[in-house]
Amino acid sequence: KHGVLTRKSHADMDGKRTPRGRRSWKRFYGVLRGTVLYLQKDEYKPDEDLSEVDLKNAVRVHHALATRASDYSKRPNVLKLKTSDWRVYLLQAPNEEEMMSWILRINLV
């Protein structure tokens, strides 16, 4: 699965609140491959190698939990992603259908 995802980092490893200055929304192109959600700067191009920045932004979603971010009302179509090492990301999809599809696919990993 792939598509535009806008990310806000809410908590870093071990659940520590992401500090001010690193909490802003950033637009990515999300690509779910195996157990990794790649948050790429540019659209998916199959024969292109991932940049160092793309690899740094990759999120391991094995044993992660994706739910609708029902406690976050500033933006629509936002899901909450909790990873197994207790990072928390808010991910905004372009519409409700895409958000539901990401939730299902992430939870199937």
| Residue ranges in contact with ligand I3P by CB under 6 A | 20-25, 74
Q: Cβ 17 to ligand I3P, closest distance in Å? A: 8
End-to-end CA distance of the chain: 12
* Closer to ligand I3P by Cβ: residue 31 or 90: 90
Q: Cβ 16 to ligand I3P, closest distance in Å? A: 14
Q: Cβ 82 to ligand I3P, closest distance in Å? A: 16
Contacts of 35 (CB under 8 A, 6+ apart): 60, 61, 62, 109
DSSP state of 18: P
